[in-house]
Amino acid sequence: MEEAHSGVCGAHQSGQSYTFRIKRMGYYWPTMVKDCIDYAKRCQACQFHANLIHQPPEPLHPTVASWPFDAWGLNVVGPMTKSSRGHLYILAAIDYFSKWAEAVPLKEVKKENVADFIRTNIIYRYGDH
């Protein structure tokens, strides 16, 4: 079983394909299908590289805003390739109601830079609402 599943010609196939391969090699026993499926389920390499399709997806929780400027999302993107002016990051803000976006390049991510961005690009420009 080990040679057919993970040997030189083995391709770490699933239980059904694995059973067919063993039958072509000339072997058969009554519990062969179950044994092949169990063996493939216990294979460490198969478990490590397998798709996680059996894991249920997490439900999404949308952020709902009733008015403009009610809720903002801030994201830092990077580090990226350094720009000609030495910027490595992008700070982006999105108003969840209007989908309006503001973004600035940053050389480094510091709380002072984020606070300055909020103050100058959002509060001073649009008011504190």
Question: What is the per-residue pLDDT for 8?
Answer: 57
Q: What are phi and psi of 91, to 5 degrees?
A: -105, 120
Question: What is the per-residue pLDDT for 91?
Answer: 95
pLDDT tens for the chain, 129 residues long, are 776 666 656 566 666 777 777 788 888 888 888 887 788 788 877 777 666 666 677 788 888 888 888 888 999 998 999 999 999 999 999 999 999 999 999 999 999 999 999 999 888 887 766
- Is the peptide bond preceding residue 68 cis, with omega within 30 degrees of 0? no
Residue 70 structure tokens? 């009610």
pTM recorded for the entire structure: 0.52
Class of domain 72-126: alpha beta
| Separation CA 18–CA 5 (nearest Å) | 6
Considering only CA atoms, which of 3, 4, 6 is closest in space to residue 43? Answer: 6
| Separation CA 91–CA 79 (nearest Å) | 11
Asked if residue 69 lies in contact with residue 126, where contact means CB atoms within 8 angstroms, the answer is yes
Residue spans of the domains in the chain: they are: 2-49, 72-126
